[in-house]
Amino acid sequence: MTQTSQLSKLEHELYECMIQSVSEINISEKIGIAFSGGVDSSLLAKIVNDLGYKTTLLTMGFKNSHDVNFSKKISKSLDLEHKTLLIGEKTFPQIIEKIHDTIKTDNLSWNENCIAFYYIAKLAKKHGIRLVLTANGIDELFCGYNAYREAISQSEQIVKKMMEAKLENEISMMKAVNLIASEFEVSITQPFLTEKFIQFAKKIPIDEKIKDANDMIRKHIVRKIALAIGIPHEAALQRKKAMQYGSSIHKNLIKIRKI
């Protein structure tokens, strides 16, 4: 049930900016959403679906991983089509090497994210989807990462410097992600990493994003919007769990590297 009338002026403006960012994407066919069931991907999925686009939620992960199990539950609550790809343990080492050789970096986060989107793109192609949207950018702009707790304990200026660094890294990394996805003729698009959205989000007061060093939830203004537009409480208030952890990619990658 949508209750946007309960939103403050700033919250409503942010919500409208999110809608506009999605609306400006050239969408001519059914669209996939990289979906974990968390607040960011659920919010994006709801916006896309409310705009009238044919929406399919796409989740990948190892069997019984957090994201695979949680996304099934939340997708039912959202009443949206949901497709899942389980990562095969036997072929996973080959994919690790393939991704590393393609993006040519030892950056662990880049490799893990590219592995994750490799499977998302593979799943998208299987179901005839060529455009996948992801909510990347929300964690960077709204202090989703745990590291922001240390930053806010120093000053808001440190938070802003961290935000700039994380945004620069994310934008560069998504270029590598699209290189990986291109194998399947799939495009990965980030509506919350456009210049217009970034500039708007930066103007939002830091205390709307993170309160202090003990703030385990963070992204408060985003969560308020999610609740107002009908995202289930357990998704809207779910703590941050990065894709590589929720899918168990990190766990299995580290295990293989130690062998």
Structure tokens at 9: 């002026």
Domains and CATH numbers, the chain: 4-256 (3.40.50.620)
- pLDDT, average across residues 58-69: 96
Question: In whole angstroms, what is the distance from residue 210 CA to residue 156 CA?
Answer: 10
Angle (nearest 5°) at CA 109 between 106 and 110? 65
**248 contacts: CB under 8 Å, gap ≥ 6:** 61, 62, 65, 66, 87
Contacts of 202 (CB under 8 A, 6+ apart): 141, 160, 163
pLDDT tens for residues 111-138?
A: 999 999 999 999 999 999 999 999 999 9
Closest CA to 59 of 29, 85, 79: 85
Terminal alpha carbon distance of the chain:
50
Q: What is the pTM of this model?
A: 0.95
pLDDT for res 6: 84
Residues 6+ apart with CB under 8 A from 204: 10, 14, 142, 221
Considering the chain, what percentage of its residues have pLDDT values greater than 70?
A: 98
Output the CA torsion 76→74→132→210 (10° steps): 160
Q: Which two tokens stand for residue 12?
A: 């409503």
Distance CA 86, CA 110 (A): 21
Tell the burial category of 219 from Cβ atoms under 10 Å away from its Cβ (0-12, 13-18, 19+): buried
